[in-house]
Structure 1
Amino acid sequence: MTGLSSAGPREIYRVDWVPGTDVLHGTCHCGAEHAAQDPVEMWEWMLGHPEGHQPRGHQPQGIDS
């Protein structure tokens, strides 16, 4: 049996419920965030990485500031 140290990098996803609402707030392992009311939509967004989201601070190529 191998230990966690030899398992390689792990992707961590976090989904929080926004109290008082029907909204879920998701944070991807890359730092991107998304809000949705439908849990299926949330998981499709997260597992569709990288389609549909970019890491924080990332600007798509071809956009000049």
Structure 2
Amino acid sequence: MTAPTGEIYRIDWVPGTDLLHGTCHCGAEHTAPDPVEMWEWMLGHPEGHEPRGVAS
């Protein structure tokens, strides 16, 4: 599956842990221990996403 042009998904390993930290093209962030969980969250847009600066 490919992302539409201009959308950047970033996943970084959190040093010293077994965690991954993802940032979606919308600015929402998520941390998870499992790469599959991380990609499901990333590609499940907008379900589970809350962009930075948005209060719930």
**TM-based fold match above 0.5:** yes
Cα RMSD over matched residues? 1.5
> After TM superposition, which residue ranges in structure 1, 4 or more long, deviate above 4 angstroms?
none
Matched, 1:21 2:17: yes
Identity across aligned pairs (percent)? 79
Contiguous gaps of at least 5 residues in structure 2: none
Tell me: higher relative CO, structure 1 or 2? Use CA pairs within 8 A at least 6 residues apart.
2
Say which of 31, 35, 53 aligns to 2:27: 31
**What is the rounded CA distance, in whole Å, between the counterparts of 1:53 and 1:22 in structure 2?**
22
Which of the pair has more CA radius of gyration? Answer: 1
Structure 1 runs not aligned, ≥5 long: 1-7, 61-65
